[in-house]
Homo-oligomer: A and B are copies of this chain.
Amino acid sequence: MKSYNIALIKGDGIGPEIIDEAVKVLDAVAACENIEFNYQEALMGGCAYDVTGDPLPQETIDISLSSNAVLFGAIGGQKWDTLPREKRPESGLLRFRKELGVFANLRPANVYDELVNASSLKPEIVKGVDLMVVRELIGGIYFGEPKGRDENKGWNTMVYTRPEIERIAHVAFKIAMERSKKVCSVDKANVLDVSQLWREVVEEVAKEYPEVELSHMYVDNAAMQLIRDPKQFDVILTGNIFGDILSDEASMLSGSIGLLPSASVGSSIGVYEPIHGSAPDIAGQGIANPIATIASASMMLRFALGENRAADRIDYGIKQALAEGYRTKDIAGFDAKEVCSTSEMGSIIANFA
């Protein structure tokens, strides 16, 4: 029996509720596939600050680094928004990404046929959308120096080096090879020097993938094209902040941000998490949609552990639950047969998986 160590970082807000459902589903598929998960919980975000005074205790890094993969819920909440910058949950998250070296954030945006009416976009625009945003995650303006502020001025630096661009570009092209072999690199090369280098280096890396069709798009145009005709995209390759903006925008194609998973990879340990936040306003009510987190667990099985059959089971479980009309509150308006709670949805998917 294969056995894996999974670090569980539940975090704040709805984090614990949704991670619990992902664990339920993981355990269900483990039983069928003769694998075993050993979970170790670790604190991050506001809850970590409350207990240890630090949003990212060293222990959390240690536990994560000694695991096979990290399954992550969500962090943050108004309660901690007035803390000094370095104590805030978000600072813990950014440091965590950096410590783990997860430079590639993979954010698929796909549309379940059953929910094709759930988007604010017309069904004919979103039906069949299946794209992947590959976002650089530990560079760019999020981390660039110099940065700082005083009473009269604030500044941050958007900086990329050639090796940083090369490694993220390779990730995008490799993913494209497994998909429809198209990469659209998004930048603002008509204005930014850093984008000019980005574009050049992406062109160079592209030469190693002659089968992949490369195009470039300015970020303002990309924000438009994503809603005008999202099906034109296969893999979108972009930097940290552009990827932050575009992937959130793309999530709207799917109908609910509660549906979409993500993977942050690059070093030996990957972090798998829903793209939504901690939603403190609905925490504890049992109405959060666990599908994004369950789908993240599936990505973990596939990308981190190579357990593709188990991952397929989860994906099938999600599709089946939706096909049979089970809906959490966020998607209750769309062909619901039964509106269910967070934990009911987890159990239903676990049963189908």
Contact = CB atoms under 8 A, between A and B. Distances in A.
Contacts of A241: 188, 191, 219
Given A121-B122, A221-B248, A252-B227, A90 B191 contact: yes
Contact of A154 (B195, B251, B257): B195
A125 B188 CA distance: 29
Interface string A207-250: 00000000000011101101111000000000001101111110
A277 to B, nearest CB: 9
A63 B252 CA distance: 46
B161 A158 contact: no
A148 B142 CA distance: 18
A94 B191 CA distance: 9
A157 interface: yes
Contacts of A247: 220
A149 B196 contact: yes
A154 B164 CA distance: 11
Contact of A190 (B90, B154, B188, B249): B90
Contact of A153 (B149, B162, B251): B162
Given A125-B120, A144-B155, A149 B257 contact: no
- Tallying the copies of this chain within the complex gives 2
A103 interface: no
**Which of A149, A151, A190, A245 lies at the interface centre, i.e. has the most chain B CB atoms within 10 A of its CB?**
A245
A122 B121 CA distance: 5
A193 interface: yes
B157 A155 contact: yes
A88 interface: yes
A267 to B, nearest CB: 22
A297 B50 CA distance: 57
Interface in A152-169: 152-162
B160 A193 contact: no
A192 interface: yes
A348 interface: no
A205 interface: no
Interface string A88-132: 101000100000000000000000000000001110010000000
Contacts of A141: 141, 158, 192
A348 to B, nearest CB: 26
A147 interface: yes
A121 B159 contact: no
Contacts of A148: 193
Given A90-B190, A223-B246, A151 B162 contact: yes
A72 interface: no
A127 to B, nearest CB: 12
Interface of A: 76, 85, 88, 90, 94, 120-122, 125, 141-142, 144, 147-149, 151-162, 188, 190-198, 219-221, 223-224, 226-229, 241-242, 244-249, 251-252, 257
